[in-house]
């Protein structure tokens, strides 16, 4: 376990375990002004919609506006650094995604902060499952058949990503690392550009967020081979998991809330409680699922351990693939 990981887990545990005596007044007073939920992605994306759904809920529960502040750029690092530098008073929170776990290694030596030291977990919000999908004319219907096809056609299988260093890219590299097959990444600006090439056969496979590809799968324009989750996904009934063929394979996106590292434990506890209440609300839960997310309530320590594990996992993939951002 690295020092940074250990510190992150200690922060997570501390958020749940520190006694509230001496800080009750700050919890009662908080919030007394608008809260900014800082997001490292563009307005209008599925992640942004999730952030706004949560923000609206919290606004009503906390009695103060929760404003989503989009600060896209540098793979989400601009948003992360903004929150790291903000006062640790609960008024600037990070709506984080998988990128923060990837970037710790991908941008090694180039970041002005350490996400596991300088941020503390508040609450997980949703997991966003990934589906392995292929061109419908490719002669494969299972993970095992795809692996066999790739081994029989080394260097001739291209996989689509939505950019270097993205989750879709890392999922492909993770699959290569586990199977030993040879695939070539082809980077696009987004799923809207990648999926037409997958349908046309210019690329053969893509690991994509379920919600981005669901309509194409349902219209039989691409073929879903398997989901990269530990259990089948309710939006893709009958589609097996990759782990049935490759035990332990688990990859996907996630979103959650982080705060500056020295944020008072009582404020973190209050936010965690309200977010968990939000995730239990049937209407809000259904909306998250409709947008492709699976709500993930839990304590700050649970979320902290999850992020630490994700950072370790994606770090290994980045290093194995020799990836770096110049």
The CATH number of the domain holding residue 290 is 3.40.190.150
Q: How far is CA 252 from CA 2, 130, 168, in A?
A: 23, 5, 9
Q: Per the domain annotation, does 284 fall within a domain?
A: yes
What's the predicted TM-score (pTM) here? 0.88
Domain extent, residue 229, equals 129-244
For 24-33, 105-114, 167-176, which range has the lowest pLDDT when averaged over its residues? Answer: 24-33
Number of domains forming the structure of the chain? 2
Structure confidence by residue, pLDDT tens digits, 131-152:
999 999 999 999 999 999 999 9
Q: Per the domain annotation, does 174 fall within a domain?
A: yes
Cβ atoms within 10 Å of 146's Cβ, excluding its own: 26
Pair type for strands 222-227 and 119-135: antiparallel
pLDDT for 20 equals 41
The verdict on 143 and 239 lying in the same domain is yes
- Boundary (domain end) residue, out of 244, 269, 295: 244
The verdict on 137 and 169 lying in the same domain is yes
Q: Where are the alpha helices (DSSP H) in the chain?
A: 3-17, 24-29, 46-62, 77-85, 99-106, 115-118, 143-152, 167-179, 191-200, 210-218, 265-280, 282-290, 300-321
- Boundary (domain end) residue, out of 244, 269, 294: 244
Q: Per the domain annotation, does 42 fall within a domain?
A: yes
The verdict on 118 and 144 lying in the same domain is no
The verdict on 18 and 108 lying in the same domain is yes
pLDDT for 302 equals 97
Does residue 248 register a pLDDT over 60?
Answer: yes
Structure confidence by residue, pLDDT tens digits, 80-130:
999 999 999 999 999 999 999 999 999 999 999 999 999 999 999 999 999
Q: Per the domain annotation, does 121 fall within a domain?
A: yes
CB 250 within 8 A of CB 282: no
pLDDT for 233 equals 86
Q: Per the domain annotation, does 326 fall within a domain?
A: no
Structure confidence by residue, pLDDT tens digits, 255-306:
999 999 999 999 999 999 999 999 999 999 999 988 888 999 999 999 999 9
The verdict on 134 and 86 lying in the same domain is no
The verdict on 41 and 146 lying in the same domain is no
The verdict on 35 and 82 lying in the same domain is yes
Beta-bridge partners for 257: 95, 123
Q: Per the domain annotation, does 272 fall within a domain?
A: yes
Does residue 5 register a pLDDT over 60?
Answer: no
The CATH number that applies at residue 182 is: 3.40.190.10
The verdict on 198 and 124 lying in the same domain is no
Q: Per the domain annotation, does 155 fall within a domain?
A: yes
Rounded Cα distance, 176 and 242, in Å: 13
Kindly state the percentage of the chain with pLDDT values over 70. Answer: 91
The verdict on 61 and 37 lying in the same domain is yes
Does residue 76 register a pLDDT over 80?
Answer: yes
Confidence of residue 235 (pLDDT cuts 50, 70, 90): confident
The verdict on 168 and 118 lying in the same domain is no
Residue 250 contacts by C-beta under 8 Å, 6 or more apart in sequence?
Answer: 228, 229, 230, 243
The verdict on 61 and 197 lying in the same domain is no
Q: Which of 199, 205, 198, 210 is nearest to 236 (CA)?
A: 210
Does residue 315 register a pLDDT over 60?
Answer: yes
- Boundary (domain end) residue, out of 191, 221, 244: 244
Q: Per the domain annotation, does 234 fall within a domain?
A: yes
pLDDT for 140 equals 97
The verdict on 137 and 122 lying in the same domain is no
pLDDT for 266 equals 97
């Amino acid at each position: 376990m690295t020092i940074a990981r250990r510190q992150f887990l200690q922060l997570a545990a501390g958020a749940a375990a520190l006694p509230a005596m001496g800080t009750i007044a700050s919890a009662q007073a908080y919030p007394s002004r608008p809260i900014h939920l800082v997001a490292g992605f563009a307005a209008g994306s599925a992640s942004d919609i999730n952030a706004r759904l949560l923000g609206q809920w919290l606004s009503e529960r906390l009695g103060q506006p929760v404003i989503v502040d989009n600060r896209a750029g540098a793979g989400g690092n601009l948003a992360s650094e903004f929150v790291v530098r903000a006062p640790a008073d609960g008024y600037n929170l990070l709506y984080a995604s998988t990128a923060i776990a990837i970037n710790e290694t991908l941008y090694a030596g180039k970041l002005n902060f350490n996400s596991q030291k300088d941020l503390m977990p508040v609450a997980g919000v949703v997991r966003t499952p990934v589906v392995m999908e292929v061109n419908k004319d490719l002669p494969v219907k299972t993970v095992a058949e795809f692996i066999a096809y790739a081994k029989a056609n080394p260097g001739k299988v291209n996989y689509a990503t939505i950019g270097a260093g993205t989750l879709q890219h890392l999922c492909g590299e993770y699959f290569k690392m586990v199977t030993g097959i040879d695939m070539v990444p082809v980077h696009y600006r987004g799923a809207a550009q990648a999926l037409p090439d997958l349908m046309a056969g210019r690329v053969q496979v893509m690991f994509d967020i379920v919600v981005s590809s669901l309509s194409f799968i349902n219209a039989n324009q691409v073929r879903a081979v398997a989901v990269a989750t530990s259990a089948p996904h309710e939006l893709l009934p009958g589609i097996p998991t990759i782990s049935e063929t490759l035990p332990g394979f688990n990859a996907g996106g996630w979103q959650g809330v982080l705060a500056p590292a020295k944020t008072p434990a009582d404020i973190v506890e209050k936010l965690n409680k309200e977010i968990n209440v939000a995730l239990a609300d049937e209407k809000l839960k259904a909306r998250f699922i409709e947008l492709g997310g699976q709500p993930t309530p839990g304590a700050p320590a649970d979320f902290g351990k999850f992020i630490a594990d994700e950072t370790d996992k994606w770090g290994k993939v980045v290093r194995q693939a020799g990836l770096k951002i110049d």
